[in-house]
Structure 1
Amino acid sequence: MKPVYTLAEALAKDPGRVAKTQALTLDSARPHMGLKGRHGLFASVAWWESIEAQRLPTQTLTGIIERTYFAGQDSRRGDQVNSFTLRMADGSAVDESIYINHKQDIRLFVPGAMVTMVYALDELKAQPAADGGVNVARIVLEVAVSTR
């Protein structure tokens, strides 16, 4: 498996994302928007430590790419993809977005390749979720893809 994405690397290239996310968490005028911040502000030392100590729940998905496709309404070239269907071991399928830190790694997202995605499940301010449970943001932490 080749690591193709880490949130830490993506944030190093876009520090404004951290500032905006943290500002929304701290904005009491928007009580239903943003992260709750219960495990530390997004991407802060406390937040990363909460993930490492398993206080902030994570989810790992592993499966085989069934198909790749373009999702969205933006203009694009005919060969461009940004999403894929991941077939899980239990037979279920989930649609996911492609996350990469380096453009050349998009070539690894092909039908038949295995993908592992790790998410942080960070609680949102807006509660509860539609099903009555805890409403969380699924934040992609890492992505790895098999190579042939």
Structure 2
Amino acid sequence: MLLKLNEEKAPMKIVFLLSEELKNDPERVALTQALTLNTLKPKMGLKGSHGLFASQEWWNSIKQGKMPLKYISGVITSAYIAGQDPSKFNNTIDIVLNNGSIESVGIYVNNDDDVSLFKVGHKACIVYALDEMKAQPDFDGSVNYSQTALEMAVSLEPCK
């Protein structure tokens, strides 16, 4: 577990684990790995610096701290539907971070029923793997990363 939920003041529920999602979507793993290995597409896909996506080497790179990770947590200020695809459920939240800024974050769940837990006043935590893309650098000259959600949790009660 990458999220340190025992340090939170409110009880938290893990609602998303990428490892669980990938068990039900082996094609995603195969397609992502194939694109990484495809030398005919030198600007598309992941670089594979920390192993092929979802391989044992990739997971070990995460556990050993070799792959950069991005942690975001804060109190939910709104939950809504974003994007052009039709949805019956909220798929995005805005959270206020410790520094007072607001960040929009996608909602990730393994069980659709857990979407209802994302309520204003509750806390959300997410950790992303930052996996280098083949195409470098990013538009601003920095390292171009794919941001892959690994874990997401939400508080079971409002934050005080």
The one of 114, 117, 122 equivalent to 2:123 is 114
What is the percentage of aligned positions where both structures have the same residue? 48
Structure 1 runs of 4+ off > 3 angstroms?
Answer: none
Q: 1:68-79 maps to which residues of 2 (within 5 A)? A: 68-77=79-88
Give structure 2 stretches of 5+ with no counterpart: 1-11
Cα offset for 1:76? 4.0
The corresponding residue for 2:70 is 59
Q: 1:1-148 maps to which residues of 2 (within 5 A)? A: 1-77=12-88, 80-148=89-157
Question: What residue identity is the alignment partner of 1:66?
Answer: T
TM-score normalised over the length of structure 2: 0.88
Question: What residue identity is the alignment partner of 2:122?
Answer: A
Q: How many pairs are equivalent?
A: 146
Give structure 1 stretches of 5+ with no counterpart: none
Deviations 1:43-90 (A, max 9, x none): 00000000011111111111011101111223344xx31111111010
The 1:69/1:26 distance shift into structure 2, 3 A limit, reads same
Question: What residue identity is the alignment partner of 1:96?
Answer: V
Over the residues paired in the alignment, what is the CA RMSD in angstroms? Answer: 0.9
Distance between the aligned counterparts of 1:123 and 1:74, measured in 2?
A: 27
SS at match of 2:85: coil
Question: What residue identity is the alignment partner of 2:81?
Answer: F
TM-score normalised over the length of structure 1: 0.95
Distance between the aligned counterparts of 1:84 and 1:123, measured in 2?
A: 26
SS at match of 1:111: coil
